Structure 1
Amino acid sequence: MKEKNQNFFFELELEEDQSIKLAFWADARSIAAFEYFGDVISFDTTYNTNRYNLVYGSFVGVNHHGQSTLLGCSLMKNEEIESFKWLFQCWLRCMGGNAPKGFLTDQCASMKRHIMKNIPSKLNGYKGHAKIEQEMSQVVWNSHSKDSFDRNWNDFLLNFGLVDNKWLSSIEAQFQDVYTHQKFREVQAQFRGKANCITRLTNSALGYSVYEVGEQVSSSIFNKFVVTYDSVAAEIKCQCLLFESRGILCRHALSVLSFEQVSQVSLRYILERWSKKVKRRHTHIKNSHDEPLLEQRSKSFDELVFRSQNICEFASESEELTVILHRAYDTVMIEMEELKAKRKGTSSLSHEDANLESVNELQSPPRIRTRGRPKNRLGSKKY
């Protein structure tokens, strides 16, 4: 793959017997995709190779359609802290030293100790509903037909001076103009869920407000969430952490913005990674798997045979030329053997100095005895 694509990145750490201890690789498309979708990364090590008992790990991001995109792969002989440290350092080098903003991982204890996490603190404080939320709740839940809802809603807008409020259309239009269809549908689901929310201001000072948002999940059950809004910084945070985990404003935050009569959300909440206009440079990079791979060793052999045939035909014209060619062969053979011996003594390989000859010297890890049916089971076949 390195010969086919010079931007293919890989690094290896070998055991004394030249078998693989640790390996990391990423193709050019993955490296380019990280530029756009590398803000939050998931790393999973749930797969084990059956024959050699190597742990397979994958770095995965999410593109602007909400789909998974591969950002690197690894093989590890163990899941110790030093192995993860080596792997993450390789991955950072591959991605130009740019660490993601968020890193999601499985339940591996070693990895947890290696990755530092900052968990946002939760806010508290719950009280009764204000009059405006009570009136809105009456309109939403006690209107039994379209006509009655329209009448009650218009009365509600008149009573609270909200007739000219264009909040819903303007806020929703912000997301619709920018986001892909898939992501905008997810945003719309949050707007629909806002109808089940009742918002109440609990505290406010110097432009910083604390709200309690009650979300009705059944006729008698409300889930309560604390939402804070800083009107000066145009920053909103909800206890449910939907934006922090999925990159979409939640219905609780939208309810508070509606209560505050905010006509445009801050651009920090309209993520470019979900944009339908994102520059997709990574999709124009040829993947190593886009065409059938040729066996490089066979390809090199064919090229050498072709060139050698021409040289041999030329040298066979005289004894003097034949002697010159034999002498050249001896010199080249000594040089190649020295290089081969030097490569064999190297305990690690990286994408900068690796070539196919050194890779071909790698030894397979020791095979393990796998569980399953006995090999001499009646009716089994040998291959």
Structure 2
Amino acid sequence: MKHMLKINRCMSQAQREHADDADMSGISVKATVELMSREVGGRQNFGFMDKDYRNYIHRKRRTKMKKGDAGAILQYHQKMSVDNPSYFYSMQLDEDDMITNIFWADERAISDYGLFGDVLCFDTTYRTNDYGRPFAPFVGVNHHKQTVIFGTALLYDETIESFKWLFETFLEAMSGKQPKTILTDQSAAMASAISVVFPQTHHRLCVWHIYQNAAKQLSQVFHGSQQFAHDFGKCVYDYEEEDDWLLAWNEMLENHNLMDNKWLKKLFDVKEKWALVYGRHTFTADMMSTQRSESMNSTLKKYLKPSHDLLRFFEHYERVLVDRRYEELIADFKMMQTSPVLYGNVEMLQHAEEVYTPKNFKLFQQQYTSIGDYVANKVSKSDMKYEYKVSYRDIAREHLVKFDALVQTITCSCMKFSFVGILCRHALKVLDKKNVRRIPSSYILNRWSKEAKARSIINYQAAKTSANPKESIGKRYSHLCRNYREIASVAAEHEELTKYAHEHSIELLKNLEEKKKKLLKENTCGKENTSEGHDDVLGEMSKACGVKRKAVVGRPRGSGGYGRFKGILEGKKNIVRAKSYASTSPIREAQAKRQISFQKIEDEVPTLPPSAQVDSSTQLSACDPEMPFQDKLSFTQLLDTVITPDDFS
């Protein structure tokens, strides 16, 4: 029992560092103590007791929280900025100097956005602990078809003003580069902010949310007619011409007596944002829903606990980023060490295997191996330009393919390449017929290729003039750091490259000094006043006296602390438990009544019959006649399928 005496109990520095690492890795106190005791042959050889370890962890956390949430958060981001000059963060304060909105992105996130930021998924359904703040990650997809994170925000609310601030801050962090497409839910505030801040971006609505709202608003129609789910699904996924779509939409309304339905009228007003017929020309990186954001919400629950304060939220969120990026490293390794199986000794497939990552090669091969079931009939020829109508066996539906043999360009009426970035089977059929054995270079998107992350220099876009001179210098410095880090990385690989880079860096420095002297003489670029500069920015943030909390009555719906808000079709609450909970106090009774009231709303939406058929296939095959629309998954299966995380990849 000697090890239990206070005089014999002491944690060594090595044990404290071990404890710190375990705590930052999310390992529980109990598991850490058991592991450390096994390492020394039992707790009697530990040097301290379990409660000593717990006290150490609690003291460390209390020390951090002495600064308050605002001070701790500011210190965290400042430390990240010191460790990483390209780290970007921004906070918004209200009139009471309370932190309302926070955005941050590290160097890797900014770099990934430069490569894969053509399509954004943005979702705010996840909520933090007692603060009840919307967690708003900007995510996309990389060349391995894995979810990649471009930046993250914690918002106070979901108003137009908050979204405008967030999107403007995001653009500032990304040097003003706007995405081609952004996928969101049907938030009016979000849509208003996007139209102002991202005027060049195509705003698409998440198909899963469209179906979820349809189930809520049209539940009786879905139950009353199996055909309605089929017709509605075709309006979402099918049709290549607008006139055909409009005809089908009007027929659906007439056949199901929905001409005066207000919800469908509102949905029709934004048809350009959800119907595929209006989005075929828009690149979406093979996404029609925010399922990547949804799957990330599920992943966060493995790392974050309701007991975490905001500072620990930031610290443990780092683990999410590290693990996600390690998955990409694993995919890179597998890509270099293994080769996918080719279905035949075909030059086109061999070329595709050389240029595409395994995931994208698989998609390409699926398209190519099906061309044997298609027939291509030439309908016109002019010089070196050909037009073919491609159909599946004896099915009447045809796709018009135009091929210019001189410049090696090809287009298909299904426009799959435009919104997915992979040639469709109709175009591949014509290329095969014209003896084209390799993929034309203009139809190999770099973002899907093995060279997608090959070293490159990020283009510089002059930022708007800042009222803070030092802030402008800092942004330019961060941009140059990213580019010169790539140069240094290449140069360090060989002695000759290092000497070459060193010699040219000396020459470049001399040229810059001469250029600077000329600018000083011309009085166009004097030494900028940096005496206040960034200190003023930090001073503004350092005035923050706390983190603004939302006034939440009762427990946030769909959350046990951290969690996402659940939709109308995602489970039902236990009313009996709510009534029992309400019996303890008038306040809790009022909260329970609200909970029961919501339950009644859910109960009004009956479960859709499994027989209600709808097309749940991805947009990759939505235009293919060999996959009859009515033979796809049921409506409820579609809802489950759309949001099922594909192991976060």
Which category describes the TM-score, using the shorter chain as reference length?
0.5 to 0.7
1:34-183 to 2 correspondences below 5 Å: 34-49=113-128, 51-113=130-192, 114=195, 115=198, 116-117=201-202, 169-183=346-360
CA contact (8 A) 1:207 1:230 kept: yes
Q: Is the 8 A contact 2:136 2:152 kept in 1?
A: yes
Alignment of 1:190 with 2:383, yes or no, is no
Residue 378 of structure 2: aligned partner: 201
Stretches of structure 2 that go unaligned for 5 or more consecutive residues are 1-75, 205-238, 244-344, 457-533, 558-577, 589-649
Equivalent of residue 250 in structure 1, options 414, 424, 439: 424
Secondary structure of the residue aligned to 2:202 is: coil
* Between 261-270 and 42-51, the greater mean CA deviation after superposition: 42-51
Listed one character per residue, the Cα deviations across residues 180-221 of structure 1 (whole Å, up to 9, x for unaligned) are 2222112111111222222223334354443322135xxx64
The question of 1:238 aligning with 2:412 is answered: yes
Whether the aligned pair in 2 keeps the contact of 1:40 and 1:101 (CA below 8 Å) is yes
* Distance in 2 (alpha carbons) for counterparts of 1:210 and 1:365: 62
Task: Specify whether residues 124 and 87 from structure 1 end up closer, same or farther in structure 2 by C-alpha distance, changes over 3 A only.
Answer: closer
Query: Paired residue for 2:102?
Result: 23
Which residue of the other structure, out of 436, 448, 452, is the alignment partner of 1:262? 436
1:214 aligns with 2:391: yes
Bigger Rg, structure 1 or 2: 1
> Matched residue of 2:78: which SS?
coil
Amino acid at match of 2:412: C
Task: Identify the residue that residue 631 of structure 2 maps to in structure 1.
Answer: none
Distance 1:237 1:34, change over 3 A: same
Query: Structure 1 pair 50/271, CA: closer, same or farther in 2 (3 Å)?
Result: same
Q: CA shift at 1:249, angstroms?
A: 1.2
For 1:108 and 1:62, the matched residues in 2 are separated by 23
Once the 2 structures are TM-superposed, how far is the Cα of residue 351 of structure 1 from its aligned partner? 11
Q: 1:176 to 1:359 in 2, by over 3 A?
A: farther
Partner of 1:367: 551
Contact residue 93 and residue 544 of structure 2 kept, 8 A: no
Give the structure-2-normalised TM-score: 0.36
How far did 1:179 drift? 1.7
Over 3 Å counting, the alpha-carbon distance change for 1:359 and 1:171 in structure 2 is farther
Q: Secondary structure at the match of 1:16?
A: coil
Letter in 1 for 2:548: S
Encode CA deviations 1:3-40: one digit per residue, 9 max, x unaligned: 33223212222222333433322122211212222232
Using the TM superposition, give the Cα deviation of residue 176 of structure 1 relative to its aligned residue in structure 2, in angstroms: 0.9
The whole-number CA distance in structure 1 between the counterparts of 2:451 and 2:122 is: 27
CA deviations on 1:125-161 (whole Å, 9 max, x unpaired) are 9xxxxxxxxxxxxxxxxxxxxxxxxxxxxxxxxxxxx
Determine helix, strand or coil for the equivalent of 2:547.
coil
SS in 2 for 1:369: coil
Q: How does 1:297-376 map to 2 (within 5 A)?
A: 353-354=537-538, 358=542, 361-371=545-555, 373=578
- Secondary structure class of the residue paired with 1:353: helix
Alpha-carbon separation, structure 1, partners of 2:90 and 2:146: 27
Give the equivalent residue in structure 2 for 1:5.
80
Q: 2:114 is matched by which residue type in structure 1?
A: E
Task: Quote how far apart the aligned CAs of 1:112 are.
Answer: 3.9
Greater percentage in strand: 1
- Whether the 8 Å CA contact 1:30–1:71 is kept in 2: the answer is yes
Instruction: Kindly indicate whether the alpha-carbon contact (under 8 Å) linking 1:19 and 1:365 is maintained by their aligned counterparts in 2.
Output: no
Counterpart of 1:323 in structure 2 is none
State the Cα deviation string for residues 315-350 of structure 1 (Å, max 9, x = none).
Answer: xxxxxxxxxxxxxxxxxxxxxxxxxxxxxxxxxxx9
Question: What is the letter of the counterpart of residue 212 of structure 1?
Answer: K
Q: Which has the higher contact order (CA 8 A, sep 6+)?
A: 1
Structure 1 residue 233, shift from structure 2 partner: 3.7
Amino acid at match of 1:19: M
Aligned partner of residue 79 in structure 2, secondary structure: coil
Identity %: 34
Whether the 8 Å CA contact 2:143–2:450 is kept in 1: the answer is: yes
The AA in structure 1 aligned to 2:167 is: F
Is the Cα contact below 8 Å between 1:237 and 1:253 reproduced in 2?
Answer: yes
Q: Does the aligned pair in 2 maintain the 1:12–1:20 contact within 8 Å?
A: yes
TM-score (norm 1): 0.59
State the partner residue of 2:596: none
Find the residue that maps to 1:187 and give its secondary structure. helix
Structure 1, residues 280-314: CA drift from partner, whole Å, max 9, x if none? 679xxxxxxxxxxxxxxxxxxxxxxxxxxxxxxxx
Do the aligned partners of 2:351 and 2:438 also contact (CA within 8 Å) in 1? Answer: yes
Distance 1:185 1:351 in 2: 52
Relative to structure 1, the CA distance from residue 77 to residue 10 in structure 2 (aligned partners, 3 Å threshold; closer, same or farther) is same
SS in 2 for 1:226: strand
Whichever residue aligns with residue 549 of structure 2, its letter is P
> Which shows bigger deviation, 273-282 or 54-63?
273-282
Structure-2 change in CA distance of 1:13 and 1:227 (3 Å): farther
Residue equivalent to 1:155: none
Query: Hey, what's the Cα distance between the residues in 2 that align with 1:123 and 1:208?
Result: 23
What letter corresponds to residue 542 of structure 2 in structure 1?
A: S
Distance 1:41 1:25 in 2: 16
Range moving further from structure 2, 224-233 or 183-192: 224-233
Alpha-carbon shift at residue 123 of structure 1 (Å) = 6.2
CA separation in 1, counterparts of 2:405 and 2:139? 36
Distance 2:358 2:535 in 1: 39
Further displaced range: 50-59 or 248-257: 50-59
Kept in 1: contact 2:100–2:547 (CA 8 A): no
CA contact 1:32–1:281 (8 Å) conserved in 2? no
Give the stretch that moved more between structures: 7-16 or 202-211: 202-211
Separation in 1, partners of 2:116, 2:427:
25
The structure carrying a bigger helix percent of its residues is 2
Residues 91 and 541, structure 2, Cα contact 8 Å, conserved in 1: no
**In the aligned structure 2, how far is the partner of 1:188 from the partner of 1:243?**
14
The one-letter code sitting in structure 1 at the alignment partner of 2:374 is C
Separation of aligned partners in 2, 1:231 and 1:110: 48
> Structure 1: how far apart are the matches of 2:88 and 2:417?
33
Q: 1:192 to 1:91 in 2, by over 3 A?
A: same
